Amino acid sequence: MSAKRIVLLLATLILQACEFPHRPLPREVVLSERYGLVVLDAEILGQGDVPDAPEGWKWVLFRFDPNSFYKPRDVEALGRSLLKQLEARGWSEACWMQNPFTQELVIRVRRRPEGAGIFVKHQREDTYHLEDRPYLS
């Protein structure tokens, strides 16, 4: 073999060894159409209106893929992600209350006269319960 072919063969082997493993594109799941909240690599297990609550109070139960690169490490990380999405839509944080013992989080945001409340609770491994509701600030 010529030196040129040997170099080409070595370059090909090195490039193949450096290839990144293929990751499928993440699925975007809408948690709240009203506020534009989404998560990646999750599935919705249930959703609806909160019973015996004021009108406009919605809930959604969802689970992250356990092997997902996008799965948050805890309820606080998920809450920070949701808050960043709200801030990108012009909302500002009014209140952040977190209970680390029960893995619950309440976020209140406002935008001019309107406000929103987001409640997130870690149910079990990779599964979360989210509620959202409007309020006047």
Domain boundaries, the chain: 24-136
Q: DSSP states of 36-67 as a string?
A: TEEEESEEEEEEEEPTTS-TT-EEEEEEE-TT
Instruction: Read off the pTM.
Output: 0.79
Segment 30-87, tens digit of pLDDT: 999 999 999 999 999 999 988 887 778 899 999 999 988 889 989 999 999 999 999 9
| Among the listed residues 14, 21, 31, the one whose alpha carbon sits nearest the alpha carbon of residue 129 | 31
Query: What's domain 24-136's architecture?
Result: 2-Layer Sandwich (3.30)
Lowest mean per-residue pLDDT among 16-20, 105-109, 124-128: 16-20
Segment 104-114, tens digit of pLDDT: 999 999 998 89
Six-digit token string for 75? 């309820």
DSSP 26: P
pLDDT over 60 at 137, yes or no: no
Count of positions (residues) in the chain: 137
